[in-house]
């Protein structure tokens, strides 16, 4: 299989999984029904949800880079704890804010409550925390040298 085709299929699968998880969170929060009257524009709750989703996306990117980057570079040993800790902090902040947004929402998509952004922040925050934890565990494992005494 061509590498480009594999990357496109992986991206489509990841997008479908993300949409499915967001829908599952909305259904679990009983907020999946669209509004009878749609509110357009930026509301304070939509701004809150969007900010949380952007924080979560930053956490996913930082966690993914930290998990993919080797702990030893050509410049010597890199501080392998900063990136994963930042990803964990951003993910936790975004997940909590997404959850709070969903808990305070009084309607579904289109009501101006930011429920889609809140659900996206919750899902992306959980992914960021998982990537940060994976990178942190990997960094600890690779810096341990058995038999070395300091």
147 within some domain: no
What's the pLDDT tens digit per position in 5-31?
A: 888 888 888 888 888 888 888 888 777
150 within some domain: no
69 within some domain: yes
Are the CB atoms for 97 and 107 separated by under 8 Å?
no
What's the pLDDT tens digit per position in 45-68?
A: 999 999 999 999 999 999 988 888
What is the rounded distance in angstroms from the CA atom of residue 14 to the CA atom of residue 125? 15
93 within some domain: yes
What's the pLDDT tens digit per position in 25-38?
A: 888 877 777 777 77
CA distances to 16, 27, 93 from 52, in Å: 21, 20, 8
149 within some domain: no
Summary mean pLDDT of the chain:
83
| pTM of the full structure | 0.78
Burial of 132 (0-12, 13-18, 19+ CB in 10 A): buried
138 within some domain: yes
Instruction: Centre a 10 Å sphere on the Cβ of residue 54 and count the other Cβ atoms it contains.
Output: 16
104 within some domain: yes
Number of domains in the chain: 1
**Confidence class for position 142, pLDDT limits 50, 70, 90:** low
Q: Residue 24 is part of which domain span?
A: 3-142
Is residue 129's pLDDT more than 90? yes
**Confidence class for position 148, pLDDT limits 50, 70, 90:** low
Is residue 149's pLDDT more than 60? no
89 within some domain: yes
Tell me what pLDDT residue 71 has.
58
């Amino acid at each position: 299989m061509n590498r480009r085709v594999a990357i496109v299929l992986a991206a489509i699968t990841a997008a479908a999984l993300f949409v499915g998880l967001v829908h599952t969170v909305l259904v679990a929060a009983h907020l999946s029904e669209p509004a009878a009257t749609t509110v357009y524009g930026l509301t304070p709750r939509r701004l809150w949800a969007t900010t949380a989703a952007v924080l979560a996306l930053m956490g996913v990117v930082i966690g993914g880079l930290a998990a993919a980057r080797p702990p030893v570079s050509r410049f010597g040993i890199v501080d392998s704890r900063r990136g994963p800790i930042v990803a964990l902090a951003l993910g936790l902040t975004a997940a909590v804010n997404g959850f709070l947004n969903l808990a305070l929402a009084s309607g579904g998509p289109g009501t101006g409550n930011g429920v889609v952004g809140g659900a996206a922040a919750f899902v992306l925050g959980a992914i960021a925390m998982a990537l940060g934890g994976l990178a942190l565990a990997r960094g600890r494992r690779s810096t341990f040298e058995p038999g070395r005494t300091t």
